[in-house]
């Protein structure tokens, strides 16, 4: 490492010391920085000292160097450790790197206040801490970061006001505080002093309460202004028009009032993205948009705009999205919009538009989505619509469209939603041959005649079919049995004949009303000799199928009838193909079971995996039946083995399985019925707040139930769906877990896709499930921790209705970061005396909901820790709860 030339010894030594010293001190600085970081995934494994590894620190993960004053020495200029699952401390030691310019720690798990000490890094220009767990306020000393050009604190938990001190960052070009908890008014120094800004993002700070000051016009270099979903109110200042470089203007979802500045369209002619939707703006739509042709997205929806749309919109040759829905616009909808070459989305519903959809719509070759519902459009549906290959949604209900549907109306291979209900369409409904992705078809409230197209039965994902209130005749195509329809409404037509059996079970009966000639079980007219019912008894399989041909012969040719014969025969034998196993003498036939499940017996709105029904046995006992519809294919044998395993579980805190029933398209799980509904229903409703002793006992017993599943039963089981609505309570408030281990029944992939679609954002799901699809006991522990937080705080896990939409985990984690925060999260309706116990339980809940799975205790440890809390009461309060404790620990 000594230098190559040979100056006098002393100088040489001194020089070598300098070179070595500075770079090896950079290395040790980095190592010191690393030592304060928790690197769970070992991402920084090559950060090791040069004495044990030949890799130079400039080649370590995330490090970039520049050559410093002397050519042989390198200096760290950038550290980019984005997305490496890092946590721990951001140490100020890093500021000993004299030439550090960029620091990017985005997308990690740093959980601490803003690291002010980084202001000692004298050449730091970029500080990116976005998407971490940074909390606390922005102190006035933020002014110390004088050298910063880019400051990104987006997606953290920063609260409080934006301090005046931020005005000292004179060089700042990018300021991003998106998605934090910032409150109060935006200080005017931002607009006076930060004149170099090109990007200002204060969006998604719902606690802000601020106007947009007129001084905004001073930010003449601004290119992107993101202020959406924050608390901005008042009028849009006309000085905004001075920002001629603006390409993004997003003011949506605020509380802005007044009119748009008149010249908005023509002054801002570099705009690419313009959004003022969901405010309280009024007046007319500005003229002159697209004078610069750059506009790609234009949205003014959900305001109080009135008047007509200008014809000049035909200049918007790059426009992809156009949204004007939910306003008071009127007049003819500009025809030119329908043939813009790049348009993908047109939304204009809930206005007073008139006019037509022209044939030239076929030129909009990229059109994906059209929504025009609730206007006064009046024309035929153009054939050109059917030739657009990218269209997946066409919704134009509540208009005056008339004439016949063109035969190609559903030809787009992507089409999934069509709603033409409540128009004046007539003629026959064309066969739908090509739109195999159709999910929803609504043609209700028109004057369609003829038969229901049999091709509907060949649309594999059709789930919503509303043909009600037309003049359709003939019978209901038997093939519809094969679909998994969630809604099927053919009421108020002139249909006749027998109703396919499986269409009746599980769907409300009102979908058939107003067709006096339909017959079948559950309808007013039972099928007579000529109209056989499709009975589950399965006796007259052949006759039934034969007579059902007779029913359709009237409408279809013999050949078509033959196909149908085959199909009905097949689907019928499916309906008969019931297997059932009862683990308890239920004395109820499969037929009674299935007929008993209807609107009246349905509970709630059904969970992710299916609806629950409560049925009464002949003995007057009640049972709960869960109908599973989303499951993968598996053999009856393997299913039986799985369910029998689950049925063997006997624990006082796990719901009893009474039996099950199975056919190709549904599984019914039969459980004991509990009177007090679920913990979610009781957690803290004003009328029935559970007292703390009851809550603690519930927590202990649920923990014991889970510990049993995880450790004691053979094979060990995971619950995988722990949440307060899956904890049922009996008359004595003894909790019982339900909906457990459904993955064993529906199969892993069906389970996973249901979880993915239904509860991806549920706060009960452990964070690691997003990237680690393998289920673990620690994920159950996390979910249990969320339930425990609900018990301690009296807050429901997720509340969407109120403005305070944080889920309970985020809410608590934020609060407990503050001084005295812990006692602030406790349910105020519980008496003070229980506070100490509640704090202890809160501590356990926080451990369970740790972001890091390996830091969570096991369910057995949790159960023991909770029992310990309970037993300490007895020391203080022996008389009252000794008996209770006895029953708990038994
Ligand atoms: C970094 O690694 C590359 C390739 O492995 C090598 O060429 C380069 O010299 C190394 N840089 C330093 C400073 O060690
Ligand atoms: C973060 O951790 C998860 C699981 O612990 C892992 O799947 C993922 O790859 C890690 N990310 C990185 C960038 O190492
Ligand atoms: C900060 O880092 C994130 C993640 O890498 C990135 O998306 C974002 O653009 C960065 N911020 C700035 C201002 O460059
Ligand atoms: C903002 O700029 C003004 C005028 O240049 C200056 O007096 C003031 O101190 C600045 N504010 C901050 C917080 O630096
Ligand atoms: C919007 O402003 C109105 C009147 O100024 C006020 O009553 C309302 O609470 C505000 N709404 C929100 C969401 O800030
Ligand atoms: C139709 O739009 C009007 C506003 O133009 C609105 O008041 C009405 O509620 C809408 N009707 C439906 C059914 O959405
Ligand atoms: C179809 O439009 C009608 C009327 O606007 C609406 O009530 C119905 O919910 C829509 N159906 C679907 C499936 O969106
Ligand atoms: C259905 O047809 C009958 C007679 O053909 C007619 O009187 C009635 O108005 C029609 N109903 C609808 C909704 O078109
Ligand atoms: C079926 O359609 C009729 C008429 O459109 C409507 O009154 C009824 O509520 C609908 N039934 C269901 C279950 O959607």
Residues 6+ apart with CB under 8 A from 552: 474, 475, 478, 497, 560, 561, 564
Alpha helices in 802-857 (DSSP H): 808-816, 821-825, 835-848
pLDDT band, residue 554 (cuts 50/70/90)? very low
Which strands sit side by side in the sheet containing 255-259, from one edge to the other? 210-211, 232-235, 255-259, 280-283, 304-307, 328-332, 352-355, 376-377
pLDDT band, residue 526 (cuts 50/70/90)? confident
d(CA 844, CA 868): 12
Calculate mean pLDDT across residues 302-320. Answer: 95
Instruction: Say what the pLDDT of residue 223 is.
Output: 97
pLDDT of 562 over the 50 cut: no
Instruction: Measure Cα distances from 61 to 42, 44, 92, 100, 126 in Å.
Output: 11, 6, 19, 16, 18
Of the listed ranges 471-485, 751-765, 822-836, the one predicted with least confidence:
751-765
Instruction: Say what the pLDDT of residue 687 is.
Output: 65
Neighbours of 39 (CB within 10 A): 18
Contact 367, 340 (CB under 8 A): no
pLDDT of 180 over the 60 cut: yes
Instruction: Say what the pLDDT of residue 820 is.
Output: 74
Instruction: Say what the pLDDT of residue 96 is.
Output: 92
Ligand nearest to the CA of 82: 3
Residue ranges covered by each domain of the chain: 402-412+419-525, 575-673, 677-876
pLDDT of 285 over the 60 cut: yes
pLDDT of 567 over the 60 cut: no
Question: Which has more confidence, 253 or 767?
Answer: 253
Calculate mean pLDDT across residues 758-769. Answer: 76
Calculate mean pLDDT across residues 458-480. Answer: 91
Contact 318, 341 (CB under 8 A): no
pLDDT digits (tens, 9 = 90+) for 201-257: 999 998 899 999 999 999 999 999 999 999 999 999 999 999 999 999 999 999 999
Evaluate: CB of 196 within 6 angstroms of ligand 4.
no
Evaluate: CB of 398 within 6 angstroms of ligand 7.
yes
Q: Rounded mean pLDDT of the chain?
A: 83
Of the listed ranges 104-118, 245-259, 705-719, 744-758, the one predicted with least confidence:
744-758
Instruction: Name the residue at shortest CA distance from atom 3 of ligand 3.
Output: 106
Q: Which atom of ligand 1 is nearest to the CA of 59?
A: 1
Contact 231, 210 (CB under 8 A): yes
pLDDT digits (tens, 9 = 90+) for 325-349: 999 999 999 999 999 999 999 999 9
Instruction: Say what the pLDDT of residue 889 is.
Output: 34
How far separated are the first and last CA of the chain, in Å rounded? 73
Instruction: Say what the pLDDT of residue 292 is.
Output: 82
Evaluate: CB of 397 within 6 angstroms of ligand 9.
no
CATH of span 402-412+419-525 = 3.80.10.10
Q: Which long-range contacts (CB under 8 A, 24 or more apart) does 602-611 make?
A: 607/725, 607/739, 607/758, 608/721, 608/754, 608/755, 608/758, 608/759, 609/739, 609/742, 609/746, 609/754, 611/506
Which phi and psi (to 5°) does residue 746 adopt?
Answer: -85, -10
Would you call 166 exposed, middle or buried from its count of C-beta atoms within 10 A (0-12, 13-18, 19+)? Answer: buried
Instruction: Say what the pLDDT of residue 686 is.
Output: 62
Instruction: Name the residue at shortest CA distance from atom 5 of ligand 1.
Output: 59
Cis-peptide, bond into residue 715, ω within 30° of zero = yes
Evaluate: CB of 817 within 6 angstroms of ligand 3.
no
d(CA 85, CA 111): 12
Distance of CA 748 to the CA centre of its chain: 21
d(CA 331, CA 538): 61
Question: Which has more confidence, 18 or 691?
Answer: 691
Calculate mean pLDDT across residues 471-500. Answer: 88
Evaluate: CB of 83 within 6 angstroms of ligand 2.
yes
Ligand nearest to the CA of 54: 1
Q: Which atom of ligand 8 is nearest to the CA of 469?
A: 13
Evaluate: CB of 193 within 6 angstroms of ligand 4.
yes
pLDDT band, residue 749 (cuts 50/70/90)? confident
Would you call 460 exposed, middle or buried from its count of C-beta atoms within 10 A (0-12, 13-18, 19+)? Answer: exposed
Calculate mean pLDDT across residues 255-277. Answer: 93
Q: Which atom of ligand 9 is nearest to the CA of 507?
A: 13
Residue count of the chain: 890
pLDDT band, residue 72 (cuts 50/70/90)? low
Evaluate: CB of 189 within 6 angstroms of ligand 4.
yes
Contact 260, 284 (CB under 8 A): no
Calculate mean pLDDT across residues 417-438. Answer: 94
Q: Pairing relation of β-strands 150-152 and 174-176?
A: parallel
To test the pocket of ligand 3, the residue of 62, 103, 106, 223 to mutate (highest count of ligand atoms within 8 Å of its CB) is 106
Ligand nearest to the CA of 55: 1
Instruction: Name the residue at shortest CA distance from atom 8 of ligand 6.
Output: 350
Instruction: Say what the pLDDT of residue 11 is.
Output: 40
For residue 425, the cross-strand partners are 403
pLDDT band, residue 677 (cuts 50/70/90)? confident
Tokens representing residue 735 in the block:
């909790």
Q: Which atom of ligand 6 is nearest to the CA of 398?
A: 13
Q: How far is the CA of 765 from the centre of ligand 7 (A)?
A: 32
Beta strands, E only, 247-327: 248-250, 255-259, 273-275, 280-283, 297-299, 304-307, 321-323
pLDDT digits (tens, 9 = 90+) for 119-139: 999 899 999 999 998 987 898
Q: What is the phi-psi region of residue 189: left when phi exceeds 0, alpha when psi lies from -120 to 50, beta otherwise?
A: alpha
Q: Which atom of ligand 1 is nearest to the CA of 65?
A: 13
Instruction: Say what the pLDDT of residue 715 is.
Output: 85
Instruction: Say what the pLDDT of residue 18 is.
Output: 41
pLDDT of 541 over the 50 cut: no
Calculate mean pLDDT across residues 733-758. Answer: 83
Least Cα distance to 837 among 816, 849, 823 occurs for 823
- 452 secondary structure, DSSP code: P
The domain made up of 677-876 is a member of CATH 1.10.10.350: no
**Which CATH number, 3.40.50.1000, 3.40.50.720, 3.40.640.10, 3.30.200.20, labels domain 575-673?**
3.30.200.20
pLDDT of 564 over the 70 cut: no
CA dihedral for 40, 43, 48, 52, sign (positive or negative): positive
Question: Which has more confidence, 688 or 267?
Answer: 267
Calculate mean pLDDT across residues 386-414. Answer: 95
pLDDT digits (tens, 9 = 90+) for 776-806: 999 999 999 999 999 999 988 887 655 556 7
Tokens 């030592």 -> residue: 35
Instruction: Say what the pLDDT of residue 688 is.
Output: 66
Pocket of ligand 5 (CB under 6 A): 231, 233, 255
Calculate mean pLDDT across residues 57-81. Answer: 88
Evaluate: CB of 327 within 6 angstroms of ligand 6.
no
pLDDT band, residue 580 (cuts 50/70/90)? confident
For residue 678, the cross-strand partners are 728
Evaluate: CB of 402 within 6 angstroms of ligand 7.
no
Output b/e per residue, 369-389; b: 16+ Cβ within 10 A.
bbbbbbbebebebbebbbbbe
Calculate mean pLDDT across residues 22-40. Answer: 87
Q: Pairing relation of β-strands 37-39 and 86-88?
A: antiparallel
575-673 and 677-876 have identical folds = no
pLDDT band, residue 8 (cuts 50/70/90)? very low
pLDDT of 633 over the 90 cut: no
Question: Which has more confidence, 313 or 628?
Answer: 313
Alpha helices in 719-807 (DSSP H): 743-746, 748-758, 777-793
Instruction: Say what the pLDDT of residue 883 is.
Output: 35
Instruction: Name the residue at shortest CA distance from atom 2 of ligand 6.
Output: 350
pLDDT of 111 over the 60 cut: yes
For residue 211, the cross-strand partners are 233
Contact 192, 216 (CB under 8 A): no
pLDDT band, residue 20 (cuts 50/70/90)? very low
d(CA 425, CA 406): 11
């Amino acid at each position: 490492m000594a230098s190559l030339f040979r100056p006098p010894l002393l100088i040489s030594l001194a020089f070598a010391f300098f070179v070595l010293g500075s770079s090896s001190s950079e290395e040790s600085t980095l190592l010191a920085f690393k030592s304060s970081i928790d690197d769970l995934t070992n991402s920084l494994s090559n950060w090791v000292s040069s004495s044990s590894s030949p890799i130079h620190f400039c080649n370590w993960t995330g490090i970039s160097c520049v050559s410093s004053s002397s050519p042989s020495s390198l200096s760290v200029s950038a550290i980019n450790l984005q997305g490496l699952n890092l946590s721990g401390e951001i140490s100020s030691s890093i500021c000993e790197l004299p030439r550090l310019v960029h620091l990017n720690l985005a997308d990690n798990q740093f959980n601490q206040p803003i690291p002010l000490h980084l202001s000692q890094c004298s050449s730091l220009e970029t500080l990116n801490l976005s998407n971490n767990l940074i909390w606390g306020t922005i102190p006035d000393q933020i002014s110390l970061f004088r050298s910063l050009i880019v400051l990104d604190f987006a997606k953290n938990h920063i609260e409080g006001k934006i301090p005046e001190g931020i005005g000292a960052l004179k060089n700042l070009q990018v300021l991003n505080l998106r998605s934090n908890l910032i409150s109060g008014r935006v200080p005017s120094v931002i607009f006076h002093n930060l004149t170099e800004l090109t990007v200002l993002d204060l969006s998604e700070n719902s606690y802000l309460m601020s106007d947009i000051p007129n001084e905004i016009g001073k930010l003449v270099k601004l290119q992107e202004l993101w202020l959406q979903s924050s608390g901005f109110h008042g009028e849009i200042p006309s000085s905004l028009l001075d920002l001629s470089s603006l390409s993004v203007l997003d003011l949506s979802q605020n509380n802005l009032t007044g009119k748009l500045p008149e010249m908005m369209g023509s002054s801002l002619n570099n705009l690419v993205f313009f959004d003022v939707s969901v405010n309280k703006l009024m007046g007319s739509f500005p003229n002159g948009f697209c004078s610069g042709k750059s506009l790609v997205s234009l949205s003014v929806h959900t305001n109080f705009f009135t008047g007509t749309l200008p014809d000049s919109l035909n200049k918007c040759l790059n426009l992809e999205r156009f949204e004007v829905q939910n306003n008071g616009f009127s007049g003819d909808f500009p025809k030119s919009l329908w043939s813009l070459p790049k348009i993908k989305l047109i939304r204009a519903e809930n206005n007073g538009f008139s006019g037509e959809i022209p044939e030239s719509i076929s030129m909009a070759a990229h059109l994906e989505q059209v929504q025009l519902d609730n206007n006064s459009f009046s024309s035929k549906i153009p054939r050109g619509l059917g030739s657009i290959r990218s269209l997946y949604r066409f919704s134009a209900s509540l208009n005056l469209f008339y004439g016949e549907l063109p035969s190609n109306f559903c030809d787009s291979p992507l089409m999934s939603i069509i709603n033409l209900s409540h128009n004046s369409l007539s003629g026959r409904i064309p066969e739908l041959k090509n739109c195999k992705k159709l999910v929803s078809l609504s043609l209700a409230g028109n004057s369609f005649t003829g038969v229901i197209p049999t091709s509907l039965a060949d649309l594999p994902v059709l789930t919503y079919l509303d043909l009600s209130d037309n003049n359709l005749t003939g019978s209901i195509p038997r093939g519809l049995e094969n679909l998994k329809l969630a809604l099927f409404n053919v009421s108020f037509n002139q249909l006749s004949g027998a109703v396919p059996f499986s269409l009746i079970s599980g769907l409300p009966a009102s979908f058939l009303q107003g067709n006096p000639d339909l017959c079948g079980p559950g309808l007013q007219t039972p099928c007579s000799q000529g109209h056989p019912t499709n009975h589950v008894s399965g006796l007259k399989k052949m006759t039934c199928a034969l007579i059902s041909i007779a029913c359709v012969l009237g409408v279809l040719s013999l050949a078509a009838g033959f196909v149908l014969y085959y199909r009905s025969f097949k689907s019928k034998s499916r309906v008969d193909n019931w297997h059932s196993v009862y683990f308890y003498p239920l004395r109820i036939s499969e037929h009674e079971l299935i007929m008993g499940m209807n609107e009246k017996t349905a509970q709630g709105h059904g969970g992710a995996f299916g609806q629950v029904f409560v049925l009464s046995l002949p003995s007057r006992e009640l049972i709960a039946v869960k109908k599973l519809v989303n499951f993968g294919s598996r053999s009856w044998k393997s299913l039986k083995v799985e369910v029998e395993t689950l049925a063997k579980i006997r624990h006082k805190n796990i719901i009893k399985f009474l039996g099950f029933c199975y056919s190709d398209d549904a599984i019914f799980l039969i459980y004991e019925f509990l009177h007090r509904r679920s913990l979610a229903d009781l957690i803290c409703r004003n009328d029935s707040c559970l007292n703390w002793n009851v809550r603690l006992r519930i927590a202990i017993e649920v923990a014991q139930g889970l510990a049993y599943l995880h450790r004691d039963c053979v094979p060990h089981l995971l619950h995988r769906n722990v949440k307060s609505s899956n904890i049922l309570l009996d008359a004595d408030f003894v909790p019982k877990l339900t909906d457990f281990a459904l993955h064993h029944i529906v199969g892993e992939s069906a389970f996973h896709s249901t979880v993915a679609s239904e509860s991806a954002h549920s706060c009960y799901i452990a964070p690691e499930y997003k990237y680690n699809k393998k289920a673990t006991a620690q994920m159950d522990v996390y979910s249990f921790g969320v339930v425990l937080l609900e018990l301690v705080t009296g807050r429901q896990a997720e509340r969407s209705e109120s403005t305070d939409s944080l889920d309970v985990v985020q809410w608590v984690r934020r609060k407990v970061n503050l001084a005295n925060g812990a006692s602030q999260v406790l349910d105020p309706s519980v008496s003070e005396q229980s506070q100490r116990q509640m704090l202890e339980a809160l501590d356990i809940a926080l451990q369970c909901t740790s972001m890091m799975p390996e830091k969570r205790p096991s369910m057995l440890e949790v159960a023991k820790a909770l029992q310990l809390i309970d037993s300490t009461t007895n020391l203080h309060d022996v008389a009252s709860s000794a008996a209770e404790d006895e029953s708990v620990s038994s």
